[in-house]
């Protein structure tokens, strides 16, 4: 076991040194205006996806700065994407013959077992939501091709009864196939009453009430790997602009032309004056202990303050390790000292880099923030979706950024420095992680 870890660590170190030694990106010229537009569109997209004042409060200290001016010379060579994991077994094919019992309509009687409730991010009326990958011009009698995402990163679900798979999320939509109970599907998106599933390389729709998340392999129980990133670090590069020091910047996503500081200095306590990187590490160490006590495997991105790891590099470590959940700890800051509370961040379902991880990251984020607030009494500021953060965009594993409280608020500053409160934070987050994994278990078993 230990040897395996050493091999893992060596591999990670090799990877990191490869990243750091990579030659400077090749240069191409991109018109200045087009880059500026991209930057402002990205910013506008973020703002439009976020609500009112809570969200204004909720922008994390780490990446509050507007995206750095795009470099005068953009790299043509995007950083290497981490390898995606091979897909797991393809779903079991249903019998080619139609099932002997062809009750193709979902039964009118509710099943005896209560269906698993998959927490829908935003409940939607069936028939009104278009799938993200939908080509708008496709006629209603044509099925959509399955989106190009690794099935290993989607939840496996199975049907609890014979069930119609339809071309669109509507009971009147054309039927693709009637599948028997116990058919394995891959959940692409939960639309509330309807679910988008991948089956026979098509994106199809079925009633959410008649599918259930599959129980995890019992041999995996207790072997979940949680990677914890204590945000920021002691020494950080100065934000002098990409032109003046390109090495201090990195793209905010694989192949992106928007550059951000590799790692920013973070905030500091308005009264305590303690730097954010110290607080995040203290809580991270407590979270590690709490999770290991509960039987998880834990990998710490850093255990000291004096490291040099960019946000993208941290994400790539979690990717390489195949983390089951990647938890990034931060503290918030805002100009209004009254601002308070905790929130979590994940990508939106439109994220250009890892939208297929939206459902998992969203649920992870919801479970963490609600349990953290229950354990600490902190004000629950909910989940914010953002596609402009390198810390999220580089992830190929489920991720949640936890803004544990506002260091700009004198009361929360004191709490965040308190060992007792830090322990409550760790306990609450661990409950949220438990709850996230429990949500994947099959309630019918």
Scanning 191-272, the segments in alpha helix (DSSP H) are none
Cβ closest to Zn ion, residue 82 vs residue 266: 266
Whole-angstrom distance, CA of residue 280 vs CA of residue 307 = 14
Cβ closest to Zn ion, residue 58 vs residue 208: 58
Whole-angstrom distance, CA of residue 204 vs CA of residue 206 = 7
Is residue 391 close enough to count as binding Zn ion by CB under 5 A? no
Q: How many CB atoms lie within 10 A of CB 93?
A: 11
Report the nearest approach of Zn ion to the CB of residue 280 (Å).
Answer: 7
Is residue 61 close enough to count as binding Zn ion by CB under 5 A? yes
Binding mask 216-245 for Zn ion (x = CB under 5 A): ---------------x--------------
> Which residues, listed in sequence order, are joined to residue 266 by a DSSP beta bridge?
none
Q: Of the listed pieces 45-53, 59-67, 167-175, 244-252, which binds Zn ion according to CB under 5 A?
A: 59-67
Q: Of the listed pieces 83-91, 169-177, 259-267, 384-392, which binds Zn ion according to CB under 5 A?
A: 259-267
- List the one residue from 121, 266, 269, 432 that touches Zn ion (CB under 5 A): 266
Q: Which region, left, alpha or beta, applies to residue 303 given φ > 0 means left and ψ of -120 to 50 means alpha?
A: alpha
Q: Of the listed pieces 61-69, 74-82, 342-350, 405-413, which binds Zn ion according to CB under 5 A?
A: 61-69
Report the nearest approach of Zn ion to the CB of residue 392 (Å).
Answer: 13
Place of tokens 């119609």: 164
Cβ closest to Zn ion, residue 121 vs residue 231: 231
Is residue 191 close enough to count as binding Zn ion by CB under 5 A? no
Report how far apart, in Å, the C-alpha atoms of 292 and of each of 210, 227, 289, 429 are: 36, 12, 5, 13
Cβ closest to Zn ion, residue 416 vs residue 430: 416
**Alpha-carbon dihedral angle through residues 343, 348, 351, 355, given to the nearest 10 degrees:** 110
Cβ closest to Zn ion, residue 181 vs residue 300: 300
Q: Where are the beta strands (DSSP E) in 252-376?
A: 259-261, 297-300, 325-332, 342-346
Two tokens at 398? 């489920």
Report the nearest approach of Zn ion to the CB of residue 265 (Å).
Answer: 9
Cβ closest to Zn ion, residue 231 vs residue 254: 231
Is residue 126 close enough to count as binding Zn ion by CB under 5 A? no
Whole-angstrom distance, CA of residue 242 vs CA of residue 231 = 22
Cβ closest to Zn ion, residue 158 vs residue 330: 330
Residues 347-376 that bind Zn ion (CB under 5 A): none
Two tokens at 140? 């209603």
Report the nearest approach of Zn ion to the CB of residue 228 (Å).
Answer: 14
Pairing mode, if any, of strands 184-190 and 155-159?
A: antiparallel
Is residue 269 close enough to count as binding Zn ion by CB under 5 A? no
Report the nearest approach of Zn ion to the CB of residue 381 (Å).
Answer: 15
Residues 301-340 that bind Zn ion (CB under 5 A): 330
Is residue 341 close enough to count as binding Zn ion by CB under 5 A? no
> Which residues, listed in sequence order, are joined to residue 251 by a DSSP beta bridge?
259
Q: Which among 392, 82, 73 is positioned nearest to 253, based on CA atoms? A: 392
Binding site for Zn ion (CB under 5 A): 61-62, 231, 266, 330
């Amino acid at each position: 076991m230990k040897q395996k870890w050493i091999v893992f660590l060596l591999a990670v170190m090799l990877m990191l040194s490869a990243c750091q030694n990579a030659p400077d990106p090749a240069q191409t010229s991109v018109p200045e205006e087009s880059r500026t537009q991209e930057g402002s569109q990205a910013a506008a997209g973020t703002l439009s996806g976020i609500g009112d004042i809570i969200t204004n409060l909720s922008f994390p200290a780490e990446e509050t700065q507007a995206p750095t001016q795009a470099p005068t010379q953009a790299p043509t060579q995007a950083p290497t994407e981490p390898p995606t994991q091979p897909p797991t077994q393809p779903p079991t094919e249903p019998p080619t013959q139609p099932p002997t019992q062809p009750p193709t309509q979902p039964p009118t009687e509710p099943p005896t077992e209560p269906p698993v409730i998959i927490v829908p991010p935003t409940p939607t009326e069936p028939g009104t939501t278009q799938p993200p990958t939908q080509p708008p011009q496709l006629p209603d009698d044509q099925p959509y091709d399955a989106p190009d995402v690794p099935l290993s990163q989607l939840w496996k679900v199975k049907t609890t009864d014979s069930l119609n798979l339809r071309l669109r999320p509507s009971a009147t939509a054309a039927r693709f196939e009637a599948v028997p109970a116990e058919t394995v599907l891959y959940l692409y998106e939960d639309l509330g009453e309807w679910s988008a599933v991948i089956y026979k390389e098509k994106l199809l729709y079925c009633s959410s009430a008649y599918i259930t998340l599959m129980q995890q392999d019992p041999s995996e129980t207790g072997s979940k790997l949680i990677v914890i990133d204590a945000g920021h670090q002691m020494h950080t590069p100065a934000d002098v602009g990409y032109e003046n020091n390109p090495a201090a910047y990195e793209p905010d996503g694989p192949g992106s032309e928007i550059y951000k500081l590799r790692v920013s200095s973070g905030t500091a306590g308005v009264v305590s004056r303690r730097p954010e990187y110290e607080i995040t590490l203290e809580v991270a160490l407590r979270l590690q202990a709490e999770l290991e006590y509960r039987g998880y495997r834990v990998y710490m991105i850093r255990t000291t303050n004096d490291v040099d790891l960019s946000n993208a590099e941290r994400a790539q470590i979690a990717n390489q390790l195949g983390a089951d959940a990647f938890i990034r700890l931060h503290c918030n800051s805002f100009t209004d000292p009254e601002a308070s509370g905790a929130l979590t961040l994940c990508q939106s379902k439109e994220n250009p880099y890892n939208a297929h991880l939206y459902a998992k990251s969203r649920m992870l984020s919801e479970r963490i923030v609600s349990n953290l607030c229950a354990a600490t009494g902190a004000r629950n500021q909910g989940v914010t979706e953002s596609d402009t953060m390198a810390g999220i965009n580089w992830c190929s594993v489920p991720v949640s950024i936890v803004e544990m409280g506002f260091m700009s608020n004198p009361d929360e500053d004191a709490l965040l420095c308190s060992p007792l409160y830090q322990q409550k934070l760790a306990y609450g987050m661990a409950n949220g992680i438990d709850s996230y994994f429990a949500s994947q278990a099959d309630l019918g078993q």
